[in-house]
Amino acid sequence: MNLRVDLAWILAVAQQIPGDPQVVDYGIPVAAEARHRAEILDHEVYPEAHHKAAALLCELARNPSLEARNLLFAATVTAAYLSACGMPVSAGLDSVVPLARAARDGLPVREVATQIKAWTG
């Protein structure tokens, strides 16, 4: 399944983060929602679920929106998105958080997607 999530869904995931850190910039989850849905000339920029998951991860990891635990938030959104798409994630947070860190540090979205695809294959 190739799912599109909305702002309410992303914010519901944020509430699951330990300590319930407050959102300090609502523009970032709005941007993450828009990015994973992006289309150019009626073609999806991120056509597969692992591409959309990577877009969400990169947007949330590179642009902090919570007062704390932004990498955990990005990783949790990614895992929750894949699960909602019916794609169980074989990697634990010990693998997902380092990928979020790599995304934050500039790993290209297509490379992030390749790693995510390996977790769900």
For the chain, percent of residues with pLDDT exceeding 90: 83
Sort residue 41 into left (φ over 0), alpha (ψ -120 to 50) or beta: left
Q: Any residues with CB less than 8 A from the CB of 1 and at least 6 apart, and which?
A: 49, 85, 86
pLDDT tens figures, 95-111 = 888 999 999 999 999 99
What gap in Å lies between CA 46 and CA 53, rounded to an integer?
Answer: 9
What domains appear along the chain, each with residue ranges and CATH number?
A: 7-120 (1.20.120.1870)
pLDDT tens figures, 25-52 = 999 999 999 999 999 999 999 999 999 9
pLDDT for the residue numbered 85: 93
pLDDT for the residue numbered 1: 65
